[in-house]
Amino acid sequence: MVEVSSYEYPDEAQFGDYCALLKPRVMSLVVFTALAGLLVAPVAVHPMVGFASILFIAIGAGASGALNMWWDADIDAVMRRTARRPVPAGKVAPREAMAIGATLSVMAVVMLGLAANFVAAGLLAFTIFFYAVIYTMWLKRWTPQNIVIGGAAGAFPPMIGWAVATGSVSIESVLMFALIFIWTPPHFWALALFMNDDYSKAGIPMLTVTHGRRTTRNHILAYTVLLFAVAVGLGFTSVGGIVYTTLAVVLSLWFLKGAVAIWRRDEAAAEADNYKVERGVFRFSILYLFLLFGALMLEAALRPYALGGWG
Amino acid sequence: MSFFHPEHELHVRRRSRNLGMLGVLFGLVVVIFGLTMVKVRLEGESVGRGAPAQVQVESGASK
């Protein structure tokens, strides 16, 4: 009788490792914002078409995550936050990650084109290209503005969701894009302030590394002021309303209060309390985006009962 | 799993991966099948709505 061994090779990828390759946490944000773009659009979409479209957008986002892990395996291995990712951990071979990323990218774009329309598919293709090539291969290791320009990749999903429903781009979808685009720098710079050592060890030219923490604190404040204008401005378009605008004003003022607190602090104060304020603003920034897009969806849900929008 | 033969070590080792792939592929088939059904029905409905107008134009042209 042959003895059956249940021994598992420590470095062989399991299903969970392939899931991790697609960056599920980033995917959840993509799904949420794309769903918001789809639901707030003025054109109703069949639930099955909507579900499939969101699925293919999520697969596209995951594919670009896999391409990012393939290209960035060397710097991921150096940074504490990313060292346990499947490629630097040796679970998935870099070429395998590249093959999965490229295959899923093509599949997601083609399937989104067939499920919804080719405007949405074109936007998804551009998003994958922007994240994998423009951000990952070029900007990330080259300029301290990497987060600013690269943030565009993460900002496209609501625009794609909107395009799934309407087949077009409009001021509402551009402003939803702008909301995430302007939100990204203060969000990541708040993280960079207390994770600076990781970035400098990996040689990534984050603003904290190239221009120092003082400049980063100034930039966080400037972008948060801009974010206030964009977030509130979105409230006065056809997707906004009293609920969203009130929430946008309150949350943006709270975000601004945090940004001012970051701006007023010096390194001695920040180190003394282990970057408590910076960590707090980073955590709040995630909640901020979820609540604002949640409010947009609430406005859309209330509209049939003549309760959403501006009446 | 085989009733007659013990499982090969590779099957045991890769069970989670294989079952996961099975789930993903099955899910994809269900989504694509459902999507196709919906698309065909929506297409049929839009053709159905357009058909009377086309008949009227044709009958008007023949007069």
Mark which of A119, A153, A168 sits at the end of a domain.
A168
Structural domain contains residue A182: yes
Residues A159 and A32 in one domain: yes
Structural domain contains residue A197: yes
Distance CA A145, CA A150 (A): 8
DSSP 8-state secondary structure symbol assigned to residue A91: S
User: So what's the pLDDT on residue A60?
Assistant: 97
A204 in Cβ contact with A140 (< 8 Å)? yes
Q: How far is B62 from chain A (nearest CA, A)?
A: 37
A92 in Cβ contact with A86 (< 8 Å)? yes
User: So what's the pLDDT on residue B34?
Assistant: 95
Mark which of A168, A183, A212 sits at the end of a domain.
A168
- Domains identified in chain A, total number: 2
SS3 of A15-75: HHHHHHHCCHHHHHHHHHHHHHHHHHCCCCCCHHHHHHHHHHHHHHHHHHHHHHHHHCHHH
Q: How far is A17 from chain B (nearest CA, A)?
A: 9
Q: How far is B43 from chain A (nearest CA, A)?
A: 12
User: So what's the pLDDT on residue A9?
Assistant: 47
Distance CA A40, CA A165 (A): 9
User: So what's the pLDDT on residue A125?
Assistant: 97
Q: How confident is the model at residue A146 (pLDDT cuts 50, 70, 90)?
A: confident
Structural domain contains residue A260: yes
DSSP 8-state secondary structure symbol assigned to residue B35: H
* Per-residue pLDDT tens digits for A84-105: 899 998 889 999 999 999 999 9
**B22 in contact with chain A, both atoms CB, cutoff 8 A:** no
- CA-CA-CA-CA torsion for A282, A19, A112, A50, nearest 10 degrees? -70
Mean of pLDDT values over A135-159: 88
Range of the domain at A235: 170-311
**A201 vs A282, residue with greater confidence:** A282
User: So what's the pLDDT on residue A78?
Assistant: 87
**A110 in contact with chain B, both atoms CB, cutoff 8 A:** no
Average pLDDT of chain A is 90
Can you give the residue ranges of every domain in chain B? Answer: 9-62
User: So what's the pLDDT on residue B1?
Assistant: 53
Structural domain contains residue A10: no
Mark which of A122, A153, A168 sits at the end of a domain.
A168
For A55, which of B12, B31, B38 is closest by C-beta distance? B31
Residues A174 and A300 in one domain: yes
For B9, which of A4, A48, A52 is closest by C-beta distance? A4
Residues A194 and A67 in one domain: no
User: So what's the pLDDT on residue A278?
Assistant: 92
Q: How far is A12 from chain B (nearest CA, A)?
A: 9
Structural domain contains residue A46: yes
Tokens of A279: 């960590």
Structural domain contains residue A27: yes
Residues A238 and A139 in one domain: no
Evaluate if residue B54 carries a pLDDT over 70: no
* Per-residue pLDDT tens digits for A15-55: 889 999 999 988 999 999 999 999 999 999 999 999 999 99
Evaluate if residue A229 carries a pLDDT over 60: yes
Structural domain contains residue A5: no
Inter-chain residue contact A15 with B31, CB threshold 8 Å: no
**A148 vs A245, residue with greater confidence:** A245
Residues A304 and A217 in one domain: yes
Structural domain contains residue A280: yes
Q: Which of A189, A102, A103, A178 is nearest to A145 (CA)?
A: A189
Give the count of Cβ contacts less than 8 A between chain A and B: 47
ipTM of the complex: 0.74
For A15, which of B16, B32, B37 is closest by C-beta distance? B16
